[in-house]
Every structure is written in structure tokens, then in C-alpha cells.
Amino acid sequence: MSGQHRTEVGGVVLAAGRSSRYEPGNKLLATIGGRAVVRQVAETACESPLSDVVAVLGYEGVAVAEALEALSVSLRHNDDYAAGQSASVRHGVDYAQESGWDAALFLLGDMPFVRAETIEVLIEAYRTGTATVVVPEHEGTRGNPVLFDGYHFDALASVSGDRGGRDIIETTERTAFIEVEDPGIHWDIDTDADLAEFADRRDSL
């Protein structure tokens, strides 16, 4: 797999979940500085070197779609979102295969603090190396988003529940762990307190 053939890297924003632990409502629609969490994730993806971006919607899909208006993001609806993250991953894989992507970067819709520069680092590591999975780490602990080469698309499409691609990450010999200066790869929002804490931490960096 030479570098020139590893060019089409698209992004899949997983934005279908029910936010069951987020008491004020749908965490993807919570706002930071007047912008919805999921919109910030999608904006970062659009600012990065990703060649294409698709968001997989489910719970409150109409409202989430409205939060993404005017962005260069395709939308896919996952009616089976209650089955866990894997169903959304399958929708993302389908889009990636239809679009002819060489690889897909999976971004979580509740992680708005990941930097565009981090996405760029992961894509560059994929394009210039031989890894088929690229995982970011910060201070020795891995996080998200994670990039998967098309070699793994069929396996990703067959996962179930909420494990996502973790089994593939842990069993693939050609997984690259890339250290990044971005604590946002660990900051997923589950509660209102998370949102306030991470926003404060980002502003103090």
C-alpha cells in the first residue's frame, strides 16, 4: 500500500445516540458559545484535510440535521440507533464504500474539543506510513477520533452493540498509536458538568 493510493480519507460523525446520561436533554444540541456541540464537531471535520464528511443521525435526527445546516456535510439516517453505536458505524461504512474512500476517520458527535490539527496529524500518519488503523494518544492514553483503512470496512460493518472498532484496534498488527498535544481526544460529554468543565479547561489552555 504505497502512499499515493491512500489519498481519499473521509470523516464519519457519529451523531445518532440518545444522550441517556445527559439530564438537560440531547447533549449533541447543547451549546458552547452559541454553537451546538455536534456542529462544532462537524465544523472541525470540515476545516481539516478530510476529503468528505458524512454525519450519521438517529435520535432527534431532524433537530440534529438543523444544527448542521449550511455545512458541507452529507447526512445519513440510522433508524436503528437504539441498537448501539455499531449500527451508525455500519451506515458510515456504507457511505465510505459507496464514495470510494481509502479510509474513514470516525468522529464522535459528543467530542467537540478535538482540534483540526489532530485530524491532520492522523491523516498524515496514515498517508505516509503502513498502518491500517491510526489511533491518537495524549499523555499515553488513547482517545478519539480513530482512522480505519478500507481493509477493515467489512469487519467494522459486522460489529454489534457499542464496542465500535475497539476489537479491531486491539487485534490489528498494523495499528499506529500517535501521540498528540490535544487533551480534547479524551473529552466526551456525558453530563452538563462535563460540558462546563471541558469548556473551561479549553479556554485556560
Reported as a single tens digit per residue, the pLDDT across 156-200 is 999 876 666 888 998 899 999 999 999 999 999 988 888 889 988
pLDDT higher than threshold 60 for residue 107: yes
Sign, Cα dihedral of 123, 129, 135, 140: negative
Of 137, 138, 135, 117, nearest to 126 by C-alpha is: 135
* Residue 54: predicted pLDDT: 98
Which residues span the domain enclosing 21? 3-204
Rounded CA gap, 92 and 191, in Å?
26
pLDDT higher than threshold 50 for residue 152: yes
Q: Give the confidence band of 53 by pLDDT, cuts at 50, 70, 90.
A: very high
Q: Which three cell numbers stand for residue 104?
A: 474513514
Enumerate residues 6+ apart whose C-beta is below 8 A from 17: 28, 58, 59, 81, 85, 88, 109, 110
User: According to the per-residue pLDDT averaged within each range, which of 13-22, 121-130, 158-167 is highest?
Assistant: 121-130
| CB contact at 8 A, 52 and 127 | no
Domain count, the chain: 1
DSSP annotation of 35 reads E
Please tell me the least confidently modeled range out of 46-60, 65-79, 158-172: 158-172
pTM for this predicted structure: 0.94
* Residue 108: predicted pLDDT: 96
**What type of residue is 94?**
D
* Residue 190: predicted pLDDT: 86
Domain at 166, CATH number: 3.90.550.10
pLDDT higher than threshold 50 for residue 2: no
Q: Which of 198 and 145 is assigned the larger pLDDT?
A: 145
pLDDT higher than threshold 70 for residue 21: no
Q: Over the chain, what is the mean pLDDT? A: 91
